[in-house]
Amino acid sequence: MNLKIAVLGTGSVGQTLAGRLTELGHSVKVGTRDVASTMSRTEPDAMGNAPFATWEAAHVEVQLTTFADAVVDVDVIVNALSGSASLPVLQSIGAQRLADKILLDVANPLDSSKGSPPTLFVKDDDSLGEQIQRAFPDLKVVLADGDHTVFVSGNDSTAKQAVTTLLESFGHTDVIDLGDISTARGTEMLLPIWLRLMGSLNTVMFNFKVVR
């Protein structure tokens, strides 16, 4: 099934997802704050990733547009923004444009203002997924995170099934539906050990598997 998908965010997560979704035959737009500014950057980002224009040159079928234009007439919106940018950007797009679309949320609620490793700006009595769902009650928010085992949280069963199908098309065979959007608390709270494992193992080439 060919879907129309908007990926919000031009960082490495947005690039990776937009590229993979395009390969799978979906029509992908990438949303950014200011198209000219994003395309004019020539320096790698803080993590050493090439500027967006370099990636775009290799993915000419992906249209770069404003956040608000990106979400027009799409089936699925992917939130590949930073955790702190997520709510402000969605608010700038506005509830009317977002309406009852599916939001596949992969943003991490990291707070890097207090040093490294970063802490979270939500704790286990709330989650960024819930904050987005509360701000946009009609939006079908589905948090999905994980690699070996992927954890899915959301209030709308149909939206979760659509996201699960998308994840399976990515090659994921172990997708666990944790329940409603409040279960995003569990998934988001995996970040603290993930950050320590990255420090201890000195690589990001690992992931969590739930062994049953």
Binding residues for a copy of itself, rule: CB under 8 A, are 114, 119-120, 123-125, 148, 151, 176-179, 183, 185-187, 189-197, 199-201, 203, 205-212
Q: Return the number of the residue (69 or 177) whose C-beta is nearest a copy of itself.
A: 177
Strand 140-146 and strand 102-105: pairing?
parallel
Shortest approach of a copy of itself to residue 151 CB, angstroms?
7
State the Cα–Cα distance between residues 125 and 69, nearest whole angstrom: 34
Q: Return the number of the residue (22 or 82) whose C-beta is nearest a copy of itself.
A: 82
Quick one: tokens of 42?
A: 């020539």
Shortest approach of a copy of itself to residue 43 CB, angstroms?
32
State the Cα–Cα distance between residues 196 and 85, nearest whole angstrom: 24
Shortest approach of a copy of itself to residue 134 CB, angstroms?
18
Residues constituting the chain: 212
Shortest approach of a copy of itself to residue 146 CB, angstroms?
10
Which residue is it, tokens 């198209």?
35
State the Cα–Cα distance between residues 169 and 172, nearest whole angstrom: 7
Q: Return the number of the residue (30 or 184) whose C-beta is nearest a copy of itself.
A: 184
Q: Return the number of the residue (86 or 153) whose C-beta is nearest a copy of itself.
A: 153
| Cα angle for residues 206, 159, 143 (degrees, 5° grid) | 35
